[in-house]
Amino acid sequence: MNDNQKSLILNSSSQYPLPQGVKLSYGTAGFRADASILESTVFRVGILAALRSLKTQSLTGLMITASHNKVNDNGVKIADPSGGMLTQEWEPFADAIANSPTPQHLVQLIDEFVKKENIRFDGVRSAEILLGRDTRPSGESLLEAAKQGVYSIVGATATDMGILTTPQLHWMVRARNKGMKATELDYFEQLSSSFRCLVDLTPNQIKMNNTDDKLVVDGANGVGGEKLEVLKKMLNSMVIEVRNSGKEGGVLNEGVGADYVQKEKVVPQGFYLKDAGIRCASLDGDADRLVYFSVQSNNASNIDLVDGDKILSLFALFIKEQLSILKMEGDNHVDENYEARLGVVQTAYANGASTDYLKQLGLEVVFTPTGVKYLHEKAAEYDIGIYFEANGHGTILFSEGFLSWLDARNNELSKSKGSEQQKAALRLLAVSNLINQAVGDALSGLLLVEAILQYKGWSIHNWSELYHDLPSRQLKVKVVDRTAVVTANAETVVVRPPLIQEAINVEVAKYPRGRSFIRPSGTEDVIRVYAEASIQEAADSLANSVAKLADQFLGLGNSG
C-alpha cells in the first residue's frame, strides 16, 4: 500500500475508535453484539469487504443484521463472490482487524495482510461492494460506518441496496458475479416464475382440501414479513396471510419467529385456537430460517412443529422421485443413464428419526460438524446436495455439470413433449431456479415447500407424519476451558479428554434408541449436551447422566 492509501485508512479509522474491553470473533453469523458497540467493527468489515473484492477481482457483499437476536443487537457479515459466506481462510484476519486497538496498528495489520495475499492496488480494477441491512433501527448508522470503511480503500465503491433479507443480498452477489441482472425485482421475478412453473407441472392439477389452500406466515416482525407482502402479490395461485409483518407494532424476534417457535415449540404471538388445522410457517428476523407448524386443536399455545429436518426430508423425497422418473426407459440420445449423485448433509443435532427415514429411502446421508459453512461445503461435493439444520436453515445445491446435463436432457425430451420424463426434467430445472443456492432462504424455501405439497396433494398433517421425531433434550454444562474437549466424526465422538467417551457409551447403552454426544460451544465456556431416546423421560435421564459426566471430567469443580 502506498502512503496515500495508508493515510486514508489512518484518518478514517480514527473516526471509529474501538470501544474499551470489546473483543469480537467472526463466526458463522459474522460479528454480532449489542448495536451500541459495533460501529468500529462494521467500519473495519467495510475495509475487509473491499479487500476481498480486490483479491478476487469480483463483487462482494456486506450485510448488517443480527438475524434472530433481540432488536437491540446487530451484526455484520460478508457475502463472498460465490454468494456464500466469507471464506474460512480470511476469518482470522477478520478477527485481527476487528480487535485491532489503534488506527496505527490497524494500518500495519492491513499492510502485512495485503502483502501476504498479494492484493494489488493498481487502479486497473476497483473494488465493488453491495450493502444491505435488515429493519433494525441501528442499521442506518451502522450502514454509514460500513460505507466509510469501503471508501477508505482507494477506488472502492459501495452500492446501498436498501433494506433486504440476508438471502436476498447473497443472491444478488452471486447473480451479479454470474453476469445476471440482480435487482430486488429480479429476485422476486425469478422466485415467482419458478414457483408458477412448478405448480403448473402438478400432476392433473391435484388440489388440496379447502383448509389447506391458505398459508399463514409469522414474519417475526422483521424484514421477511415485509418482503413476503410484496412477493405474494406475484403469486396469484396462493393465499398467504402474513402476521407479525412488523407493521402492527410488534417487536422484532420477541415471542415470534422461527427460532422462538422451533426452540420453545409454542405458538408465536398473533396465532390462536381458531388457526387449528391451518398450515402455518414462521420466518426468522432476517428470513434465512424457516419452520412450519400447526396449532393443536385442543390447546391454543401448543403446536405440532415441522422443523428443518422435515423440510429436508420433503425436499429429498421429491428430488429422488423426479430423478427416478428421469431414469425411466426412453429412446433419447443424451446419456439418460447419467447417475446423478444425490447427497443429504446433516449435523449430529438432526433427529435420529429423520436420519433413519432418509436412509430408508436409500439416500446417501453424511454428517459434518455444526455450522452452515461446513454443511454447505459438503453439499457442494454432490450433483445435488441438500442440507438443513433442525432450526430451519438450509438449501439445495446443484452442480454446474448436472445442470448442463439436465438442460441437454430436457432439450432431447422436448421432442416427445408432455412425457413424464420431460416434466421431471422441467421440475428439477425449476427447483434449481427457485431455491437460493447461495444460502438458506426462508422465502424461496417456503415456495418450494408449497409447490411440493401441491404436487403430492398433501396437507401439513400428511407431511408431519413422514416420521415421528425421537424425544430429545439439550443441556449446557459450564466449564473452565471448553477447548479441553476435542471431538471427531462430525462432533459425535470425544477424543479428548480420555475415558469420557467410554463413560458416555455406557450411559447410552442403557436406553432403547439412545444417542448422546457432547461438544464445546463456539462462543462461551460451556459444553453442549445432546441426548435422544425412545421416550422423553429416557432422553431427559440420559442427558442428565451425560451432563454429570461432563461436569465430572471438565466442570468448574474439576481443573483436571
- Name the binding residues for Mg(2+): 67, 284, 286, 288
313 is catalytic: no
Write the CA distances from 554 to 90, 307, 478, 503, 508, integer angstroms: 32, 32, 9, 13, 19
Q: Which of 98, 218, 230 is nearest to 163 (CA)?
A: 230
DSSP of 306-373: E-HHHHHHHHHHHHHHHHHHHTS----SS-TT----EEEEE-TTS-HHHHHHHHHTT-EEEE--SSHH
Cα–Cα distance, 409 to 422 (Å, whole number): 8
Determine contact, residues 164/64, Cβ cutoff 8 Å: no
Name the residue type at position 193. Answer: S
Catalytic residue selected from 67, 294, 444, 464 = 67
413 and 147 in contact (C-beta within 8 Å)? no
* Element spanning 111, H or E: helix 103-117
Report the C-alpha gap between 244 and 253 in whole angstroms.
Answer: 10
Annotated binding site: 67, 284, 286, 288, 389-391, 519-523, 528
Three-state secondary structure string covering 196-210: HHHHHCCHHHCCCCH
End-to-end Cα spacing for the chain: 48
Q: Return the number of other C-beta atoms located less than 10 Å from residue 385's C-beta.
A: 25
Helical (H) or strand (E) element with 531: strand 526-532
Contact yes or no for 287/300 (Cβ under 8 A): no
- Give the DSSP H or E segment for 304: strand 303-306
Look-up: residue for cell 452452515?
Answer: 372
Question: 420477541: which residue's cell?
Answer: 254
Instruction: Tell me if residue 160 falls in helix, strand or coil.
Output: strand
Nine cell digits for residue 40? 468500529
190 and 196 Cβ atoms separated by less than 8 Å? no
Task: Decide if 554 contacts 560 (C-beta within 8 A).
Answer: no
Helix (H) or strand (E) holding 390: none
What DSSP string describes 492-506?
TEEEESTTHHHHHHH
Q: What DSSP letter does each residue of 268-300 carry, written as one string?
A: PTT--GGGTTSEEEEE-TTS--EEEEEE-TT-T
Residue 539 cell numbers, joined: 432422553
Nine-digit cell string for 80: 463472498
Q: At what angle do helices 166-177 and 184-200 cross, to 10 degrees?
A: 90
Tell me the catalytic residues.
67
